[in-house]
Structure 1
Amino acid sequence: MAIKKQYLKTKPICKVTFSVPAEEAKSVAVIGNFNEWNSEATELKKLKNGTFKGTVDLASNNSYEFRYLIDEKSYLNDTEADGFAWNEFAGADNGIINL
């Protein structure tokens, strides 16, 4: 897994690219408080090498909680997240990204 951050010089925006190797998966979405945990809001595209990848524009100087949703049924945290926070509702940790 990988998270790439690219800060824009002209706007307080960071382009965050999420990459998830999941060859056997049919779909991967990144969900978080930046898209109201909507699994359809940020679907990642499957590349020929089996990696799912997508870019999201997020406001700089913020922290966001997120997870990956694999095939609409299982959740996965990114090992390269900036940190982790317990989520009482999910009963599990969410990844944290700091911009």
Structure 2
Amino acid sequence: MLERKQVKDRVRVTFVLPAEAPPGAVSVVGDFNEWRPGAHPLEPRRDGMRAVTVVLPAKGVHSFRYLADGDHWFDEDQADGHDGTNSRLHT
């Protein structure tokens, strides 16, 4: 799930997943962090989910995927689109 909040010329995007699915550590990896695994790990929230927030420039398009333990890559079902391999996010 994606949560977004406009803040002037930026957008705070929070990437949210259930705490247990998939099991183990998960990070969001994309063009905004030079596709570095572990740069934005999802952390537990009080509501039983886990999340990480990334601040991105407004009016942009970004590619990303999730990376879980065991080199398991997966997409965001609620992304704004997909480019064949990656999820797409419009800010």
Does 1:3 find its partner at 2:2?
yes
Taking only aligned residues, the RMSD between alpha carbons, in angstroms, comes to: 1.4
Corresponding residue number in structure 2 for 1:14: 11
* Alpha-carbon shift at residue 55 of structure 1 (Å): 0.5
Q: Which amino acid aligns with 1:94?
A: N
1:42 aligns with 2:40: yes
Mark the CA change 1:47 to 1:8 in structure 2 (over 3 Å): closer, same or farther.
closer
Q: Which residue of 1 aligns with 2:59?
A: 61
One-letter identity of the residue aligned with 2:14: T
Report the TM-score, using the length of structure 2 for normalisation. 0.89
Question: Which consecutive segments of 4 or more residues in structure 1 shift more than 2 A?
Answer: 46-49
What residue number does 2:87 align with? 95
Q: Report how many residues are paired.
A: 89
Query: TM-score if structure 1 supplies the norm length?
Result: 0.82
Gaps of 5+ in 2: none
How far did residue 40 of structure 1 move?
A: 1.9
Q: Kindly, what percent of the aligned residue pairs are identical?
A: 31
Deviation at 1:52, TM superposition (A): 2.0
